[in-house]
Structure 1
Amino acid sequence: MKHSILTSTLLLLSATFALQAKSEKPNILFIFADDLSYETIGSFGILDIDTPHLDRLAEAGTTFTHSYNMGAYNGAVCVASRAMLNTGRFVWNTFKYDTGKIMNEEADAGKMWSQLMSKAGYRTYMTGKWHVKVKPEKIFDVAANERPGMPKAVPEGYNRPLDEADYEKGWKPWEAKWGGFWEGGKHWSEVVADDSIEFLNDAKDRDEPFFMYLAFNAAHDPRQAPKEYVDRYPLDRIELPNNFTPKYKYQDEIGCGKELRDARLAPFPRTEYSVKVNRQEYFALITHMDDQIGRIIEALEETGQADNTYIVFTADHGLAVGRHGLIGKQNMYDHSVRVPFMIVGPEVEKGAKNEAPIYLQDIMPTALELADAPIPEYVEFKSLLPLLEGKRKKHYDSVYGAYKGQQRMIIKDGWKYITYPTANGTRLYNMEADPFEKNDLSQNPEYASKIKKLHKSLQKLSKELDDPLDYEDPITSWNKVSPPKKTKNNKGGH
């Protein structure tokens, strides 16, 4: 009898210690969207769009209202964004590391985000879009259904719709015959949710905490969603962007003209009808993704793991979809460089908004700090915990942005200055008075000193970030680090 009691006691203590061990460190659930502008969350009150589950996340935690991607060194902006995210380095230092050979050397040395989480005792998992130059199964404990940079596109999905007749006889987002998100028989966003739910059901019976990297291809083109989601957005519900223009003045000089793949999705010049249809399909794909995120969060709650889990939602960059006459993300406007960023979890203030400027990649060191893991010296982005805890007001005095050798940007003290070094063009916006960047002040003599001051600040920041661009000789300096490729058709962008 004594032996039986002792055995029962030891089993009880063992179970208690196992529970305590699991609860010592929180789970991290990272949800990553693609091509998702900061304005696409319904509860933000900017667009008429349905995102009830993301609205719920915003209510349950803190939203960083000014979260940015630092830029890109190639047309596929997501490649640079994801490489920065997984290495922790700023854009130009990432540029030096973003080759298959060096990235694999980084993985061999255990320097990637997921590997650092694994060293901290986490079971690591990913599913969905990857687009980083090292295989995910090399650095995650479990990698399911890795997806490429974008679903396969077809010619019929470009230069559309020309008019209503063209739409009726042409490509439709719900038709599985076009492949894309429908390849494999199930919509890719639904696959991400299915994979995630399966992992959560398995994780509930394990002792170690988990780090989940869930990467949707949505809302990237081809913007395909089930018909019932498209039908929720009749064109009379879609408002034309308040900064719509048929053509952006510098589109060709800054790499956003017909040579850019993303830009060719809609006809040139942009028409009200084509922009409304593209936005209709964009919103439908986002709402469909939102429903899949709802399924994931429901599974987290039903498996009893929600109370000890931090949920972070953000995206790799935004998207224009008709704003300023642009379609893609290869520009320095807020619709393309700024993303939603919400964090929910233990002791995170609910329903709060933090206006401190951050970079979306700050989540990497934040997760490490939450995991009580050391943040390596090579990680340049900053943990958000001091901001969340009220210990700091801001991390960055200004926000930097870049696109190849053609565009540079700085946001400082409520102003945005954009320069196009190879086109001898500039833009200046008062972001507080003009958040949608409709009123360019760069040609107003009254602001000449403001431009001069911001340009000087941008040059100083560029130097600090090891930007290879020489503002006095931009073409030569950029060609030294990124020689133009000899190709008949530069498809650029993903």
Structure 2
Amino acid sequence: MKRIQSIAIAALVALTLAGSASAEQTKPNILFIFADDMSYETIGAYGLLDIDTPHLDELAKRGMTFSHAYNMGAWNGAVCVASRTMLNTGKFVWNAKSTNLKSYSQENRMWSQRMGAAGYDTYMTGKWHVSVSAPSVFGVAKHVRAGMPKQTPAGYNRPKDEEDYRNGWKPWDKKYGGFWQGGKHWSEIVADDGVEYLKQASEADKPFFMYLAFNAAHDPRQAPKEYVDRYPLDRIEMPENFLPEYPHAEAICGKNLRDEKLMPYPRTEYAVKVNRQEYFALITHMDDQIGRILDALEESGKADNTYIFFTADHGLSVGHHGLVGKQNMYDDSVRVPFMMVGPNVKPDSKLEAPIYLQDIVPTSLELAGADTEGVDFKSLLPFLDEDAPASDKTEHYDSVYSSYIGTQRMISKDGWKLISYPKIGVTRLFNLTKDPQEMNDLAANPEYAAQVKSLTKELEQQMDDLGDPMTSLTSADYQGK
């Protein structure tokens, strides 16, 4: 497989590079656009929600979309920290947690550093949230943001009812700061930075690696009023799997977890609709900023030799299953949108093969001819090669694993998902083919006992293979901190 993959990579890169003047100039540019808290369902072109994302829709038509891209889990409540650490190290979740990032970056092993060593100008703007500084690993880093825009007390436990909404926090009110801190919306600043850099890159000889990281669609879900007005509440549909309260919420993440306190308990239709209205508005506003970046790429003259990747660090519930945050194992939280556009990428192609969002790392490194030693994730380039063996695609990952601290473990395989809550001895089983909304728990049905046993065994094997600090699902012995 390695030899076939190497041949495919060489062929792809050779085609991409053909006709250019110098070795450095012929390498493809990499434009990585990264969202925060953005569920797989929030792309209009996917037809899952009534949401406006025209620029991302167009990107999906131009390239390849992976419908089942996952995040591998988290070792604390800030799921983005684990996701972004995995992304920038190329390490699986527990390897990423144990990696000494200061030493790792000093050895020039971070994603951007590997790209730089391959002859790339490296540029970053926006959300970082990794424990080494962005300026230390990128050639240029502008407007590096913390984990989230500052939330205010008024942004929590809302809205209780219509009167509370009328008298309370508004997403377009700049006095609350957050995305408005500094006077200009942070999504617009990411786009400004990206457009500015692309104007400079149009005159440069070296290839570029751009890491454009939006804080959207993380809370506080703030957007200009005209974007909120595009989503009157009668346009917002309630999630089919809505619950006023998830029965295991306290055990799996805690009702006092920051994310879960954004919306009142018990969840109401009104509160869910308002929160989803603001979520969609922030995504549509970000989509317009992405459109500006894509226009600037075209104007730069570099588009034909550029691979564009779009994804998010994890999803978000916003009312699904009675949950609000991303600290759970349901698809709305662990699955993200994922698109790849560029030379030799078949337009409007859709793949259901399970991947991890961090597979972008070896993919881009191989396109750049960069070092991939020590990278745990797998390249997606075999999916671009029509002559690659089918097994390289269908068995990219035999199963998908995810985790959350010491309270949740998950495995998804062949259309089935098993979720384990070891500390309370609860197992949940879903047939994703027949029940994509994960509403019908089959774990207690004797007819599926063998399925539960098989997936539990495989999940525990995955835990062993990945160095999971939880030694057993039955003992719930968690060695993490």
Q: Structure 2 length normalisation: TM-score?
A: 0.94
> Contact (CA 8 Å) 1:23, 1:308: kept in 2 or not?
no
Aligned to 2:423, what secondary structure does the other structure show? coil
Counterpart amino acid of residue 148 in structure 1: A
Q: Deviations along 1:13-44, whole A, 9 cap, x unmatched?
A: xxx99844454100000000000000000000
Which of 339, 364, 367 is the matching residue for 1:367?
Answer: 364
> Contact (CA 8 Å) 2:463, 2:471: kept in 1 or not?
no
Q: Distance in 2 between matches of 1:34 and 1:470?
A: 31
Give the deviation of 1:105 after TM superposition: 1.0
Equivalent in the alignment of 2:292: 295
1:174 aligns with 2:172: yes
Q: How does 1:312-327 map to 2 (within 5 A)?
A: 312-327=309-324
> Contact (CA 8 Å) 1:21, 1:207: kept in 2 or not?
no
> Contact (CA 8 Å) 2:464, 2:471: kept in 1 or not?
no
Equivalent in the alignment of 1:5: none
Q: Distance in 1 between matches of 2:23 and 2:480?
A: 49
1:125 aligns with 2:107: no
Counterpart amino acid of residue 86 in structure 1: N
Equivalent in the alignment of 2:411: 410
Q: Where in structure 1 are there 5+ consecutive unaligned residues?
A: 1-15, 483-494
Give the deviation of 1:384 after TM superposition: 0.4
Q: How does 1:58-77 map to 2 (within 5 A)?
A: 58-77=60-79
Q: Distance in 2 between matches of 1:17 and 1:433?
A: 50
Aligned to 1:73, what secondary structure does the other structure show? coil
Give the deviation of 1:472 after TM superposition: 5.4
> Contact (CA 8 Å) 2:30, 2:210: kept in 1 or not?
yes
> Contact (CA 8 Å) 1:31, 1:313: kept in 2 or not?
yes
Q: Distance in 1 between matches of 2:473 and 2:220?
A: 39
Equivalent in the alignment of 1:481: 480
Aligned to 2:252, what secondary structure does the other structure show? coil
> Contact (CA 8 Å) 2:425, 2:474: kept in 1 or not?
no
Give runs of ≥4 in structure 1 deviating > 3 Å.
Answer: 16-23, 472-475
CA, structure 1 residues 17+58, in 2 after alignment: closer, same or farther (shift >3 Å)?
A: closer
CA, structure 1 residues 319+341, in 2 after alignment: closer, same or farther (shift >3 Å)?
A: same
Give the deviation of 1:54 after TM superposition: 0.1
Number of residue pairs the alignment of both structures matches: 459
> Contact (CA 8 Å) 1:418, 1:428: kept in 2 or not?
yes
Q: How does 1:447-458 map to 2 (within 5 A)?
A: 447-458=448-459
Q: Deviations along 1:138-193, whole A, 9 cap, x unmatched?
A: 01000000000000000000000000000000000000000000001100000000
Which of 81, 85, 88 is the matching residue for 2:87?
Answer: 85
1:382 aligns with 2:366: no
Aligned to 2:142, what secondary structure does the other structure show? strand
Equivalent in the alignment of 1:6: none
Q: Structure 1 length normalisation: TM-score?
A: 0.91
Q: Distance in 1 between matches of 2:71 and 2:63?
A: 21
CA, structure 1 residues 18+349, in 2 after alignment: closer, same or farther (shift >3 Å)?
A: closer
Aligned to 1:151, what secondary structure does the other structure show? coil
Q: Distance in 1 between matches of 2:175 and 2:21?
A: 49
Q: Distance in 1 between matches of 2:166 and 2:385?
A: 54
> Contact (CA 8 Å) 1:348, 1:388: kept in 2 or not?
yes
Q: Deviations along 1:331-374, whole A, 9 cap, x unmatched?
A: 00000000000000001000001111000000000000000113
Aligned to 1:457, what secondary structure does the other structure show? helix
Counterpart amino acid of residue 435 in structure 1: P
Which of 45, 51, 54 is the matching residue for 1:52?
Answer: 54
> Contact (CA 8 Å) 1:18, 1:207: kept in 2 or not?
no
Which of 189, 192, 196 is the matching residue for 2:190?
Answer: 192
Counterpart amino acid of residue 217 in structure 2: A
CA, structure 1 residues 472+71, in 2 after alignment: closer, same or farther (shift >3 Å)?
A: closer
Which of 251, 260, 265 is the matching residue for 2:249?
Answer: 251
Counterpart amino acid of residue 128 in structure 2: W
Aligned to 2:250, what secondary structure does the other structure show? coil
Equivalent in the alignment of 1:201: 199
1:231 aligns with 2:233: no
Counterpart amino acid of residue 480 in structure 2: V
Equivalent in the alignment of 1:215: 213
Give me the identity figure in percent: 65
Which of 116, 138, 141 is the matching residue for 2:139?
Answer: 141
Q: Distance in 1 between matches of 2:399 and 2:234?
A: 39
CA, structure 1 residues 162+370, in 2 after alignment: closer, same or farther (shift >3 Å)?
A: same
Q: Deviations along 1:251-310, whole A, 9 cap, x unmatched?
A: 00111x322000000001100000000000000000000000000000000111110000
Aligned to 1:38, what secondary structure does the other structure show? coil
CA, structure 1 residues 52+108, in 2 after alignment: closer, same or farther (shift >3 Å)?
A: same
Q: Distance in 2 between matches of 1:210 and 1:358?
A: 25
The structure whose Rg is larger is 1
Counterpart amino acid of residue 43 in structure 1: A
Equivalent in the alignment of 1:468: 469
Equivalent in the alignment of 2:29: 27
> Contact (CA 8 Å) 1:405, 1:474: kept in 2 or not?
no
Q: How does 1:77-116 map to 2 (within 5 A)?
A: 77-97=79-99, 102-116=100-114
Report the aligned-residue RMSD.
1.3
Counterpart amino acid of residue 472 in structure 2: Y
Q: Distance in 2 between matches of 1:265 and 1:129?
A: 21
Aligned to 2:41, what secondary structure does the other structure show? helix
Q: Distance in 1 between matches of 2:471 and 2:424?
A: 14
Equivalent in the alignment of 2:11: none
Equivalent in the alignment of 1:41: 43
